[in-house]
Amino acid sequence: MKTYQPISCSFYDELEARATTRQPCTLTYRLEPDTPPSTYQGVITDLFIKDKVEYMRLQDGFELRLDALVAVDDKELRNYC
């Protein structure tokens, strides 16, 4: 597995806000470089750290490393510093 690359603090704040409000969202993510992105819909319920890597957990149990995220709804990670 690739070395974890932390996401920007401002994008993390965006994720925290969605987890707090339990707002349904569409996640766009890429598990491997140079592969097409996948999407997943759900409600973010938790942001946590495991083995020095940040993750999110959705209401249905789906977990995703935060550095795999491309976008949440219309907000793209690359647009955050």
7-47 confidence digits (pLDDT tens): 999 999 999 999 999 989 999 999 988 899 999 999 999 99
Q: Parallel, antiparallel, or unpaired: how do β-strands 53-58 and 38-50 relate?
A: antiparallel
User: In degrees, to the nearest 5, what angle opens at C-alpha 15 toward C-alphas 58 and 17?
Assistant: 105
Residue 1, pLDDT score:
59
Query: How many folded domains does the chain comprise?
Result: 1
Q: Domain span at residue 24?
A: 9-79
Cα dihedral 42, 77, 8, 40, rounded to 10, equals 20
Output the six-digit token pair for 16.
């925290």
CATH at 66? 2.30.30
The answer to whether position 1 is within a domain reads no
Residue 80, pLDDT score:
65
Rounded alpha-carbon distances, angstroms, from residue 79 to 13, 41, 60, 71: 14, 21, 28, 9
Q: Is the predicted pLDDT of residue 79 greater than 70, yes or no?
A: no
Residue 24, pLDDT score:
95
Residue 32, pLDDT score:
87
Please tell me the pTM assigned to this model.
0.88
